[in-house]
Chain A
Amino acid sequence: MLSLELKTIDKSFGAFRALKQVDLQVEKGEFIVMVGPSGCGKSTLLKTIAGLETPDSGEIIINGKDVTHAEPGDRGIAMVFQSYALYPHMSVAENMGFGLKMAKRPKAEIDAAVKRAAGILRLEDQLEKLPRQLSGGQRQRVAIGRAITRSPEVFLFDEPLSNLDAALRTQMRVELSTLHSRLDATMIYVTHDQIEAMTMASRIVVLNSGIIEQVGSPKQLYRNPDNYFVAGFLGAPRMNFFEAKVVGMRPGIAEIEVPAVGRIDIALNADAAPESGMTVAVGVRPESLRLAEGEEGFAAKIHLVEYLGRETIAYADASPLRCIGSETGTGNLTVHLPYVAELAAESTVRLTFDPNDIYLFGGKDRRTWSSAK
């Protein structure tokens, strides 16, 4: 049975339509990460699943039961808030046991559940403390503990790591993943950080302006993004996009002209529909670019070099090849080299890439017409 099913969820705030006909199916034990830019609706969707917001239309089914109009406490969910939302006047033990207390469970049962959760989260020594006496990381674990004791069908996490510093965040990422496999629980996790998404998810849901752009495993989304948005969202540094023109068509193959690079033949996906003369977007990931040997490839002037210990990121101007939608200065290509490269700013190099590493996007929705092989 599906752990969670969302059917055509629609939610508006006044004139603003936050969620547009969202459908989703989650199997038991999955770790679903919902990512998207600010305002895409991911938090709203999470709150709707929790019951803190009511959808204008659509259904929410948890473990086979329609909970669309049920109280949050009756849905079999537990939520970890971004701000942890620990009850400030209750001890750690009381915080974690509150849900069971509201469900009128016997004291022995509550104590046992709290102890078990405290053991899993290494909070045994903090049980009598108040939230204000704890560190950020400890508070977060109490928030998780509060969710665990309720033994919910679905765990909901609302950007739980965003208030932690970088080192703690990395540690907690590992802990949460470990927790997931230990409890074998269904978890729905919202974040804007795509690294968290890529590392933790069994499946990622990419949201954009209230609609789901794509759902799939991290590998699927990274290798085979359905459209321009998903391709540009996952992967850091971001994929390079530039404009090209379709100059010739053969069955299953489009011949495109890329400025500064030349003509390339691209094998098309089944549903691709380019036409000769059309402008399309070409995508090449920064790690697909490499320094060229001799006269192959195309010329690029290095604008800025960033050394990252064991790899290098360079921003290069390869006019007339110009990147679109680039954050790194208009038109600059981003190159990601997996070694320490001795590159000087203002120097000119030659760059190249394997045509098999090209993505093609076109049409009204900028769907992917060709993926890297």
Chain B
Amino acid sequence: MSLIWRRHRTWVVPTLFIAPSIILFGVVIVASSLQSVWISFHDWDGFGPMQWIGLGNYEELLGDPQFYVSLKNNLIWLIIFMLAPPLGLAIALLVNQQIRGMRIVKSLFFVPLVLASVAVGIVFTWVYTPQFGLLALAFSAFGQKAPALLSDEHLVTFAIVIAAIWPQIAFCMVLYLAGINSLSEDLIGAGRVDGARGWNMLYHVVLPQLTQVTFIAIAITAIGALRSFDMISVMTQGGPFGSSQVLAYQMYEQSIFSYRFGYGAAIATILFIIMLVFILWYLSRIIRAEEWSN
């Protein structure tokens, strides 16, 4: 008995160590995701039996105008969110000076990152509140009346994106600060000797060294933009009249409020496929870096 144990013990214990994580993650996360795809091929109200309808949900989606509104909004989210890395870099460059008190300032810039998304949503809803919000206050300083952003079909998505990008910029800032502080002193010295200054130094010497950081910032920002749910749920619930709808929220609405779980699953699957592009791109870069360093 002990002979068997000794022969196999090199792999038994590690397997036991890693098993709970793999099982939990596999069942709750991976299996669930695959199951959703399965459900998307059915018609289901959550109580009764599931009815196989093949691609029926998807056909309906293609004809659903709300779907296209959601897609359009997701695209707006993605594009505007791409401002987060450069703005994060700008703030990182701004605060990277050894002046007394700068450490506290850096921490304060990080704060939006630590706030709960629901808190950020409420904070900005308050900012946008007509007549009383901060926006109204700012406009009244110029003698103007602020637009009611959250009730305006054309501007609502932009208003929400600005709220959501606030913590995202802080995140990119953290990444870039770490990156800037691991730059090679010698390379910067070589740049200075070569006469590179200011913008030239940033573009030719610094940014190329930050490629890895930029890549991660963009990938995580893109994934964050597509996944956005909390802000819409807290600020507008998709309104007014579905104009701020995004795929993530539409899926939730269809499933929980309309009891159309199959249809919701189809929306989730579309979202998943779109995000898969970014996830696979990110994974391939990471794995390549891993294997290169091994």
Contacts and interface: CB of A to CB of B under 8 A. Distances in A.
Interface in A67-117: 71-74, 77-79, 81-83, 85-89, 98-99, 102-103
Contact of A102 (B186, B189, B195): B195
B126 to A, nearest CB: 46
Interface stretch (B97-105, B170-178, B196-204, B233-241): B196-204
Given A73-B194, A77-B193, A87 B205 contact: yes
A74 B197 CA distance: 11
Contact of B186 (A81, A89, A98, A99): A81
A50 interface: yes
B208 interface: yes
A160 interface: no
B214 to A, nearest CB: 13
Given A81-B189, A83-B186, A85-B189, A102 B194 contact: yes
A146 B194 CA distance: 9
A99 B193 contact: yes
B187 interface: yes
Given A51-B192, A87-B208, A88-B208, A73 B197 contact: yes
A173 to B, nearest CB: 22
Interface string A46-72: 010011100000000000000000011
Interface residues of A, number: 25
B190 interface: yes
Contact of A71 (B184, B186, B192, B200): B192
B195 A71 contact: yes
A145 to B, nearest CB: 13
B204 A87 contact: yes
A150 to B, nearest CB: 8
Contacts of B187: 85, 87
B41 to A, nearest CB: 47
A138 B197 CA distance: 28
A351 B192 CA distance: 57
Which of A81, A82, A85, A86 has most chain B Cβ within 10 Å?
A: A85
Nearest to B208: A89
Nearest to A150: B194
A98 B197 contact: no
A55 B193 CA distance: 17
A73 B208 contact: no
Contacts of B191: 87
A52 B190 CA distance: 9
B92 to A, nearest CB: 20
Given A87-B208, A89-B208, A50 B186 contact: no
A99 B194 contact: yes
A72 B209 CA distance: 21
A88 B196 CA distance: 16
A71 B197 contact: yes
Contact of A50 (B193, B195, B205, B209): B193
A35 B114 CA distance: 53
A73 B189 contact: no
Nearest to B211: A89
B204 A73 contact: no
B190 A85 contact: yes
A358 to B, nearest CB: 46
Given A52-B192, A85-B189, 12 more contacts: A52-B189, A71-B197, A82-B186, A83-B186, A85-B184, A87-B190, A87-B191, A87-B204, A89-B208, A98-B196, A99-B193, A150-B194
Please give me the 5 A-B residue pairs with the lowest Cβ-Cβ distance, nearest first: A73-B195, A102-B195, A99-B194, A85-B190, A85-B186
15 contacts: A50-B189, A71-B195, A73-B196, A73-B197, A74-B195, A81-B189, A81-B190, A83-B186, A87-B190, A87-B204, A87-B205, A89-B208, A98-B194, A146-B194, A150-B194
